[in-house]
Structure 1
Amino acid sequence: MVGFTAAAVLLFIGSFKFELFDVVPLALEAIINAVDDGIVVIDPGGRILFVNDRLLGRLGRSEEDLYARPLSALSPELAERLEEVRQGEPMDVSVPGSVSTYQVKTTPILDSEGSLTSELLTLRDVTEEREYSERLRMANVKLSLLASVTRHDILNQLTVVSGYGELLARGRTQASTCQEYGRRIASAGISIERQLRFARDYQDLGREPPRWQTAWEVVSKGKELGLGSELRVNTDLDGIELLADPLLYRVFSILLDNTARHGVHATEVNIGYEKRDGRISIVYQDNGAGVALEDKERIFDLGHGKGGGLGLHLAREILEVSGMHIHENGGPGGGARFEITVPPDRWRQR
């Protein structure tokens, strides 16, 4: 708010106490052209008297385009909502010719007798603040959803552990049944561990800056950490490097896990790339049962599927943070085929 306050107070005091508009107009113009905020002065009838150079430059307009014209020539939205702004609450508006969002405040300029001579509008560029606020809001929504799903799934698994543990504690169970109960308890424990690992990775996402990573090394690390160690993985990534979040390897561990869990008799995975219009697509193809048509988009939703949709949702989030996108486009019965689209500035080949 410094820009708002400084510009408004300077012009108000100067015009009211020292008749700055009359005494040192050149000095005043130099000052208001130097401030970072956009400044507009309108007469009591709403016609534009002055627009500072900073705002003109941002809009690609000239003073001649706007002088003596109604405020709507600068911003129809601002002209329409000016009375609301005058009530004292800062308001966000858009200005044609600029992709920025501006917060507007007004300051009346009075003569020595208290009569209104003109009105000062200060427009502060709040685009980055609003984008940051929106990202923060979305992050909170996602974290809230994550906490809800994780809590629900862990409680379900703890119910399994508690139930089978209680049956075992009674001590009247046959050995074969005890083994089955033990396997189910162990499976529940693995599921809880997976949930907590997912929450940790989600929390760490985006904390570190992106870095260049050799694609085949990323795939190799993903295989080491995933459940797909029994799968035959063929890579043809030919010196491809990707600029991505350090968690990129988790994308491939998740895809391999997905094939191992749901790929029904899948034994092999091929990972290669295709170049298109300066971009590349990293293509992951297995020889499993494939993905049903109605699930091709839903598999990336948090909470979808037998495993709660955690893995593929996290894979998509890691890629989105890195400016990449993933979708599944395998044919019926032809195995799962995941395609990761990488923009031109996010890959290179050595």
Structure 2
Amino acid sequence: MEDRTVPDGFPTWEHLLNPGVSWIVWTFEDRLGFCLLQGESSLTSSKGCMEIEKVFPPDIAFLLHEIVRDATEMVPGEAKRVALAIPGTDTGWPCMIFRLDTDHFTLSWLNGGNGDQEKDFCDLREHLRNEKAIRKANEKLNYFNAIVRHDIMNLMMGINGYMDIIDEIVDDEEIHLLIRKSRDLGERVRRVAELTRTYQDLGNRPPAYVEVAPVMEKIFERHEFSGKIITDVQVNGLFVYVDRMFDAAIYEIVKNALQYGGEGVKIKVFALKVPEGMALIIMDSGPGVHPDFKERIFSRTYEDRRGYGLYLALEILDITGAAIRETGTHGEGARFELIFPPDAYRFGP
């Protein structure tokens, strides 16, 4: 299990998903290993055991982790029919997973040689057809979202124009005060409408492994942060499996640090093993978060927040099963922990 290369003669990952091929899978704290069951007609010479991540592309490896993770709810001796289906495509493979004991499973890739197995392929085609329909519906919703946003912005321009006219022809301080409050509300409506532009693609593309260090550096180099924060990034080689809008989640955390910590705030980024998997730590030298607000700051209805940033960061991470929490000490700085399960991170090129 220590060798980082696939041995000569080991089947390609596509071959390993052929109908009739069976594996024994065992789980470790942060990875999956598998061996081929002996007796497979075309694979009898492949006796080695490998890690899932060393043989399969990252997206396929992640889906295999998902299948096994879901199967941990099964009792030993239980079996069920599942499908490894690639989001955004019409590609998939049906299989049976059987739980042997706490850490061991078998996966048998199904063939279409008899009537019973043909049903599995029908189920898989139905799954892929449903996935395509959902994608298409999301595309239409995004298009509708853009239309509604455009109309809202046009209406707000008209409302602001009428308020300007009223402001000029009325000479009453109380009315001027009401106009200013109305403009403030109008500005909030505009910001919410703009927010829908930023996040309308959330979850539209399949997740992927993303290297953390370049994402952090790219965020820190943005004009609004450049020269205003002091950074210390210690996550070289760390990849996390996230939605493609992961950088937007990081942006919101960094913006939060600058908002509350002010110019010159120090931000340190590093990784730490935790019982749930791996924690990406982003801590700053600002005032920190009061204990009463540690959970409320991630709520959509939190009244004292400045925007929806941390709530949306939580939603972006949740797409791939990651989580976020604040564990800093009030008065000493904020500490955000982004928690990734064992099958959603790795180190390496």
TM-score (norm 1): 0.48
TM-score (norm 2): 0.48
Which protein, 1 or 2, shows the higher relative CO under an 8 Å CA cutoff with sep ≥ 6?
2
Q: Which has the higher helix share?
A: 1
For the pair shown, which has the larger CA radius of gyration, 1 or 2? 1
